[in-house]
Amino acid sequence: MNRILLIVEDETDMQELMKRYIKKAGVDVEIYSAYDGKEGVELYRKLLKEGKRPDLVTMDLKLPELDGGEATKKIKEIDKDAVVYGFTAFFDTDWAKRLMRAGATKIIPRYVGFDGFVRELQTFFKK
């Protein structure tokens, strides 16, 4: 069974770097991506209907259309068992607290870099 990761990140360069590091590290995962919170929620719903439930969603906080907190809340309404990790520079702010209140499991601070981000994914997908 393929493991599925949904990346919700509005910066194209950041998304591409995340994908590159994931592939370079050999994390065996099918990656889908959205560029704003609304698109992330819609893509999660679509994947669920297609029988491709994301194992993990990585969510930026400050997103156009629908911020990361609202998007996380809506994803959790669609699927109460959804696992959402925030990946943000705003890890120690009210934004991050909102994301956790919305149902995120963990906040990964961007200061850990892409290597730290990938280590978190490797740990998650080893479960």
CATH number of the structural domain spanning residue 35: 3.40.50.2300
Per-residue pLDDT of the chain (127 residues; tens, 9 = 90+): 589 999 999 999 999 999 999 999 999 999 999 999 999 999 999 999 999 999 999 999 888 889 999 999 999 999 999 999 998 776 566 777 888 899 999 999 888 889 999 999 999 998 6
How many Å apart are CA 88 and CA 94, to the nearest integer?
Answer: 12
What total number of domains does the chain contain? 1
Amino acid 91: pLDDT: 59
Residues paired with residue 13 on neighbouring β-strands, in sequence order = none
CA distances (Å), 32 to each of 7, 52, 90, 93, 111, in order?
Answer: 6, 11, 23, 27, 24
Amino acid 111: pLDDT: 84
CB-based burial label for 122 (10 Å; 0-12, 13-18, 19+): middle
Amino acid 51: pLDDT: 96
Amino acid 10: pLDDT: 94
Decide if 86 contacts 59 (C-beta within 8 A).
yes
